[in-house]
Amino acid sequence: MFDRSDDDTRPMNQLLEFINNHLLLSGLFASLLLALLVTELMRLGSKFKPVSSAEAIRLINRENAVVLDVSASNDHQRAHIVDAINITPGQVRVDHPQLQKLKNRPLLIYCKTGQASYQVAGKLAAAWPQPVYLLRGGLAQWRQDQHPVETA
């Protein structure tokens, strides 16, 4: 009878030999794989949904979403999405007077580049009674997509 046990272990031996010969490359691959896994788990576990500028327009027009600009005040004064409310990240809380009266509407959060708004969205999504959305790319992407802004 023909014994295939050596053939079954050959791919594993080759993989281990490759890893041993290319430790840096293998380590980088493992790090990237871990980073991708962590990012995806965080995305799946988040209570807010990132949306494109086209989806944001639909939310504003059809679902009457509250547009919250969490940029610095001077950035908001230079340019912002029409009718956006400006509250800096340090002042954002669910019981903020400007937000309190709007709790029955979905919330669309953005900032200048999309970095600060990510943390704010996570903070508000836990307690906001309606869906919370995050504008991917922030105002920079909104402007790149040639959507209207109010300027000073």
50-78 per-position pLDDT tens digit: 999 999 999 999 999 999 999 999 999 99
Residue 55 has φ and ψ, to the nearest 5°, of: -65, -35
Global pTM value: 0.71
pLDDT at 7 over 80: no
Q: What is the pLDDT of residue 42?
A: 62
What is the length of the chain? 152
Mean pLDDT for all residues in the chain? 88
pLDDT at 132 over 60: yes
What's the pLDDT band for 2 if we cut at 50, 70, 90? low
What is the rounded CA–CA span in Å between residue 115 and residue 126?
A: 19
CATH architecture of 48-151: 3-Layer(aba) Sandwich (3.40)
pLDDT of residue 38: 80
Is residue 152 scored above 70 in pLDDT? yes
